């Protein structure tokens, strides 16, 4: 369970759930590009492995806690798109945007983990984030 939060503060588990979903989706987008467009098995496996490492985070926070706090109906950004999100000029743009999204989501998970009873999971999220930095440099640098 999460620590007591001041009245009116959003649920930490809602933030964690949204960012775990965002991270998983971004990793999948990158994986699909390297799998289906470039037929690069090694990089595809790298992203599949990263995606599967999210199971540690989901189980640590508790899937029931995450799902119980999901509230897409009242998410004020659910239908908001910035113009640059609606247009990509290349596959590389998609991959770069997905890397950034994944890195940001892993940082959010790392930080918000620290205000739960699962502080140790912040280190798991940090490892994912630094893995993403390394892989990004390796394949895009």
pLDDT digits (tens, 9 = 90+) for 79-137: 666 666 667 689 999 999 999 999 999 999 999 999 988 999 999 999 999 999 999 99
Residue 51 domain-assigned (yes or no): yes
Residue 2 domain-assigned (yes or no): no
Residue 112 domain-assigned (yes or no): yes
Domain extent, residue 117, equals 12-73+83-140
User: Over the chain, what is the mean pLDDT?
Assistant: 87
Report how many domains make up the chain: 1
Q: How many CA atoms lie within 13 A of 4 on its CB side?
A: 2
Q: How confident is the model at residue 32 (pLDDT cuts 50, 70, 90)?
A: very high
Q: What is the pLDDT of residue 134?
A: 96
Residue 26 domain-assigned (yes or no): yes
Q: What is the pLDDT of residue 85?
A: 62
User: What does the angle CA 37 – CA 17 – CA 123 come to, to the nearest 5 degrees?
Assistant: 85
| CA distance readout (Å), 14 to 31, 64, 118 | 26, 11, 15
Residue 78 domain-assigned (yes or no): no
């Amino acid at each position: 369970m999460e620590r007591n939060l001041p009245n009116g503060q959003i649920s930490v588990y809602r933030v964690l759930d949204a960012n775990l979903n965002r991270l998983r989706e971004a990793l999948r987008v990158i994986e699909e590009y390297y799998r289906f467009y470039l037929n690069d098995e090694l990089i595809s496996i790298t992203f599949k492995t990263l995606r599967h490492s999210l199971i540690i985070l989901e189980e640590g926070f508790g899937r029931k806690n995450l799902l119980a706090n999901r509230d897409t109906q009242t998410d004020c950004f659910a239908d908001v798109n910035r113009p640059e999100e609606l247009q990509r000029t290349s596959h590389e743009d998609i991959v770069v945007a997905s890397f950034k999204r994944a890195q940001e989501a892993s940082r959010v998970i790392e930080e918000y983990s620290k205000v739960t009873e699962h502080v140790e999971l912040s280190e798991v999220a940090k490892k994912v984030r630094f893995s993403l930095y390394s892989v990004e440099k390796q394949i895009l640098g």
